[in-house]
Structure 1
């Protein structure tokens, strides 16, 4: 089995390699190709990848290349984890929206739209080259904003599934609190990428006992603290929202916080410099503890399970993924991309039935879906007016004056990445 990672020079990659090494029985990788135009850091990551596999006696061959076409040739699956514009562009996404009193964040709001505009055309070009190399290859997208990017891929007819680590993080956290194996925890996870709620936590499978009320009663305080929300919010809602809901539920508080500290991009850039220094050490043969602070916890387990399921291996029967709605949430179009539990197999991801969604969440889901539709249109066809319409539709913006100003700033900060600008 050959797997290719586009964006393989990312400091995330050793987390992925560690998962491949530990879970070799689930996903028997024979050749792993890391593709990245940043050849210097690619070689550092590639060297550590080989040492991690060797330490765990994994026989896979690691190949590094800047040649995308050579890297995807004959690949059974291609994982996308790229960042167009790097941390410098992310830093801008997280700062200029604050000038208008709006959240500065790389996956939602104005910054999220900027990232989508930079990313979608690049991902579609990569996907087309994957299809030419092997039309049966699966594309697993971990590139943000995952929902919009996955919708672009599916709309273009690619064999693609989107992946995020939010759900598996909750699964592992809940399993630890309950004292059970993570495989016993099934989430009623509903919404869009980075706009989700855990509305049930079931033991043993989709029809198992819902222990969410118990979790909230016994562990609501620590869970709320992790989400940076008051416990009263979780108690009143009776669900566990993803961390990203804080941008909606405490928008003004978040803006005040973000204005008083360095951007997350600046923190990550510093962390990446230290990680790359560590990766250059020929004695390092395991992922360093610092990597846990970089983000992407449990990404490797989620990616291995998904790839194994799509390629007919022994991955989980059910997994939270991003895929076409197809009636799963009846208040959304069929071609919206939702993030829900799905049965994963060689034919793709088939969403499981979802229990009726409270209007409190359904309304916001529908609103952001409309924004994502406009965002994808802007990413595919360009133009100032399309950017403006997407910004005006976003519930974190929504005011005419803000949308006008943010449109001009988005274009000014991203002109080099926008073919139409």
Structure 2
């Protein structure tokens, strides 16, 4: 089995490789190709990847290359984890929206739109090359904004599934609080990428007992603390929102916080420089503890599970993924991409039935879905007016004067990545 990681020079990659090594019985990878144009990143990452496999007695082969065509040739699955513009572009995404009183974040709001505009054309070009190299290959997208990117891929007819680590992180958290194994915890997870709620926590599978009320009653303070939301809010909602919902539920508070501290991009950039120095040490043969602070917790477990199921190698029968709505949420278009539990196998991901969504959550979901449709239109066809319409539609913006200011800043900061600008 051959897997290819596009963006293989990412500092995330050792986490992924560690998962391939530990979970070899689930996903027997014989060749792992890391594709990245940045040799200064790819070589230290590739060297550590080889040492991780050797330490754990895994006999798979690691190949590093800057040649995309060579890397994807014969691949059974291609994982996308690229960042167009690097941390420098992320730094801008997190900065200029604050000038207009809006959240500066790389996947949400105006910064998320900028990332989508930079990313969608690049991902679609890669996907076309994958299709030419192997029409049967699966594409697993971990590249943010996952919902918009996955919608672009599916809309172009690619065999693609989107993946995020929010759900598996919550699953691990709940399992720890309940004192049970993670695989025994099934989430009633519903919404869009980075806009989701856990409406139930079931033991044993989709039909298991819902223990969410008791979980909130006994551990509500702990859960609220991790989400940085008031315990009283969780009690009133009766569900557990993704931590990304804080950008909506406490927008002005978050803006004030972001204005008083260094950007997350600056923190990550410094961390990445340190990680790359560590990766270059020939004595290092395991992922360093610092990597846990980089983000992407449990990414490897989620990626292995999904790839194994898509390739018919095993994996969990039910997984939280990003895939086409197909009537699952009846108030959304069929081609909208939602993030829900799905039955996953070699034919793809089929969403499980979802209970009717509370209007409080359904309204926000519908609003952000409309924004994502406009964002994708802007990414595919370009133009200042399309960018403005997407920003105006976003529920974190919504005022025409603010949308005008954000449009100007977005284009000015991303001109080199926008073919139409």
TM-score range, shorter chain: over 0.9
Q: 2:64 — aligned with what?
A: 64
Say which SS state the counterpart of residue 64 (structure 1) adopts. strand
Say which SS state the counterpart of residue 290 (structure 1) adopts. helix
Alpha-carbon offset, residue 321 of structure 1: 0.1
Q: 2:267 — aligned with what?
A: 267
CA distance in 1, matches of 2:239, 2:275: 36
| Corresponding position: 1:142 with 2:142 | yes
| Corresponding position: 1:393 with 2:384 | no
Alpha-carbon offset, residue 80 of structure 1: 0.1
| Corresponding position: 1:98 with 2:130 | no
CA distance in 2, matches of 1:105, 1:36: 25
Alpha-carbon offset, residue 40 of structure 1: 1.6
Q: 1:128 — aligned with what?
A: 128
RMSD: 0.3
Alignment of 1:200-279 (within 5 A): 200-279=200-279
Consecutive aligned runs of 4 or more in structure 1 exceeding 6 Å deviation: none
Q: 1:281 — aligned with what?
A: 281
Alpha-carbon offset, residue 275 of structure 1: 0.4
CA distance in 1, matches of 2:281, 2:48: 8
Say which SS state the counterpart of residue 139 (structure 2) adopts. strand
Q: Deviations over 1:226-249 (max 9, x none)?
A: 111111111110100001000000
Say which SS state the counterpart of residue 197 (structure 1) adopts. strand
CA distance in 2, matches of 1:87, 1:40: 15
Q: 2:86 — aligned with what?
A: 86
Q: 2:378 — aligned with what?
A: 378
CA distance in 2, matches of 1:175, 1:184: 8
- Under a length normalisation based on structure 2, what TM-score does the superposition of the two structures give? 1.00
Q: Deviations over 1:112-151 (max 9, x none)?
A: 0000000000000000000000000000000000000000
Q: 1:6 — aligned with what?
A: 6
Q: Deviations over 1:8-61 (max 9, x none)?
A: 000000000000000000000000000000012100000000000000000100
| Corresponding position: 1:32 with 2:20 | no
CA distance in 2, matches of 1:198, 1:174: 11
CA distance in 2, matches of 1:181, 1:67: 41
Q: 1:45 — aligned with what?
A: 45
CA distance in 2, matches of 1:200, 1:190: 10
CA distance in 2, matches of 1:375, 1:172: 32
Q: Deviations over 1:259-295 (max 9, x none)?
A: 0000000000000011001001100000000000000
Q: 1:310 — aligned with what?
A: 310
Q: Deviations over 1:165-197 (max 9, x none)?
A: 000000011011111111110000000000000
Q: 1:347 — aligned with what?
A: 347
Question: How many residues end up aligned between the 2 structures?
Answer: 421
CA distance in 2, matches of 1:215, 1:52: 37
Q: Deviations over 1:332-371 (max 9, x none)?
A: 0000000000000000000000011000000000000000
| Corresponding position: 1:180 with 2:163 | no
| Corresponding position: 1:415 with 2:415 | yes
CA distance in 2, matches of 1:400, 1:141: 33
Alpha-carbon offset, residue 91 of structure 1: 0.3
| Corresponding position: 1:319 with 2:314 | no
Alpha-carbon offset, residue 314 of structure 1: 1.3
| Corresponding position: 1:191 with 2:198 | no
Say which SS state the counterpart of residue 289 (structure 2) adopts. coil
Alpha-carbon offset, residue 323 of structure 1: 0.2
Structure 1 unpaired stretches of 5+: none
